[in-house]
Chain A
């Protein structure tokens, strides 16, 4: 049984509950023991940095200090949320590399009776633990219900492989390990070039037109590749693609239906764990039809489905520059929003 210190992050208890539930369900078979940091605080997401960088690093460092004090045999701190992982890993790297910053952060932590020794904690994403410690072969050993016939688009998002200051990934833009993991589960991985592109992050909240366009690119690429669903590692990505897909469809007058699940939910299904233990059915864009295709019936967690959008709809601000600096267009994509 491998034991790790664990940082869940705020969304695991709320919008990404399915991620938490499915992780818990697969932890047994994977012999993964995650010990939560006692009294951890929010990592600040991408918001605190824009108010005050120094305070933001201090906020993250409180978690590192608590993890150091609670090591219980493991110096590895595991985060499942990509944004939390990035903040923890980046802060740890900066404290190691910059003695002035470390001194300042520790002077602040002292006000709460805490201290962090840079380098004492190794921050890793859950995926890295699965690849490097548990191993894809061990995952394969537990597959009792291969997901044969399920076409998935591997959507890693930004913050697992970038900035990757400690250079643990072979490619920070086109990593392949996630595909191998999904293939091990028996799923068919479609060609999905925007695998590490942005979901829009907080743009759905501060500049909806920008956010919707980034969501559209992902959903459209998955749709064109014939994927049944996107599979992700990140609560923010899941939330944007899932919860804002109806509003995005309304904005562009499109009718995409592209479910997005967490990779831990697919691991659970392949391990033969019942769907209701994996939080399947709690997504807004239902994965029911996609899973029925491979003979998996999902329980009814019925709620009102978003049917179109309300009378007023979202603010319709046109993109400032239709031709300005897009990401490379997908084959067959004009680069312009469909009307």
Chain B
């Protein structure tokens, strides 16, 4: 990916920014951020973020690797794309957040394990069945992280089951599950090689 570093940045600064850009498969335009703050002002979960997206992009540019990857900011992204459609520089902000999550997970620098565990369980089910498995996902997740929520959740869970919206049987695996696994394994190799 060609580097389009801002003229004033030192080589040290943009090394981390380049690293982040390289994790995102499609051009992210991260280097185009002008620090206007439209993203944070548009973000429904900014109030619960350690740093607003704008600040994270400044930290990326400043090479604050640890602080960025330990920040809860990408994990609080709800993927609503308000920032994406409002950004005057057309930075693909949710894509940057996904890239940061992938980096933080790979390096074990996540702020806490709740969100990464949820993603991991979801993805494990895809590898197992080719489809998502709501009950398995929720049950595992709540037992591990939200035991205290379970009593309050019980009536809803019973309602979902009684109304036929949740079944305890896992989904039947898709026919092409083994092929799907081969495809994803190949994608992983290609990713590592990039």
Partner of B25, one of A44, A104, A114, A209: A104
Q: Which residues on B are within 8 Å of A, measured CB to CB?
A: 23-27, 40-49, 52, 74-76, 78-82, 84-85, 94-95, 97-99, 101-102, 105, 114-116, 118-120, 122-123, 125-126, 130-132, 134-135, 138, 141, 146, 148-156, 158-167, 171, 174-176, 179-180, 182-188, 190-191, 194
Number of A-B contacts (CB under 8 A): 281
Q: Chain A residues near B102: list those with CB within 8 A.
A: 49-53
CB distance from A308 to the nearest CB of B (A): 8
- Answer yes or no: A108 CB below 8 A from chain B CBs: yes
Q: Name the contact of A327 in the complex, choosing from B44, B97, B151, B158 (C-beta under 8 A).
A: B44
- Interface check A35, CB cutoff 8 A: no
Residues of B within 8 A of A55 (CB): 184, 187-188, 191
Partner of B131, one of A10, A113, A197: A10
Contact of A282 among B98, B132, B149, B164 (CB under 8 A): B164
Question: Would you give the shortest CB distance from B127 to chain A, in whole angstroms?
Answer: 10
Which residues does chain B contribute within 8 Å of A44, judged by CB atoms? 123, 126
> A53-B23, A98-B26, A108-B183 are contacts. A201–B159 as well, Cβ < 8 Å?
no
Kindly list chain A residues whose C-beta atoms are within 8 Å of the C-beta of B132. 10-11, 42, 45
Residue contact B159 to A319, C-beta cutoff 8 Å:
no
In the bound complex, residues from chain A placing their C-beta under 8 Å from that of B45 are: 198, 203, 207, 210, 214
Which A residues lie within 8 Å of B146 (CB)? Answer: 208, 314-315
In the complex with contacts A55-B188, A206-B115, A42-B85 CB distance below 8 A = no
Q: Inside 8 A of B52's CB, which chain A residues have their CB?
A: 325
- Please, how many angstroms separate the alpha-carbon atoms of A7 and B165 in the complex? 19
Judged by a CB distance under 8 angstroms, whether A339 is at the interface is no
Whole-angstrom CA separation of A207 from B45 in the bound complex = 10
- Pair B171/A10 contact, Cβ less than 8 Å: yes
Q: Are A42 and B130 in contact (CB under 8 A)?
A: yes
Which residue from B95, B98, B118, B165 sits with its C-beta under 8 Å from A206? B118
Tell yes or no: A110 within 8 A of B by CB. yes
Look across to chain A and name the residue whose beta carbon is closest to the beta carbon of B163. Answer: A282
A105 at the binding interface (Cβ < 8 Å) = yes
- Chain B residues whose CB sits within 8 angstroms of the CB of A39 once the complex forms: 130, 174-176
**Could you write out 7 A-B pairs with CB less than 8 Å apart?**
A13-B171, A55-B188, A59-B184, A200-B78, A208-B149, A309-B153, A312-B148
A272 interface hit (Cβ, 8 Å): no
Known: A45-B122, A45-B132. A15 touches B160 (CB 8 A): yes
Q: Which of A118-126, A159-167, A182-190, A254-262 contacts B (4 or more CB under 8 A)?
A: A159-167
Tell which of A129-137, A145-153, A243-251, A287-295 binds the partner: A243-251
In-complex Cβ contact of B81 among A50, A51, A56, A162 (8 A): A162
Q: Which of A15, A16, A311 has the most chain B CB within a 10 Å cutoff? A: A15
**A58: nearest chain-B partner, CB-CB:** B187
Nearest Cβ in chain B — how far from A314, in angstroms?
Answer: 5
CA distance A107 to B85 in the complex (A): 31
Whether A97 sits at the interface, judged by CB under 8 Å, is yes
Asked if A54 meets B190 with Cβ closer than 8 Å, knowing A42-B126, A200-B78, A203-B78, the reply is: yes
Q: Are B105 and A50 in contact (CB under 8 A)?
A: yes
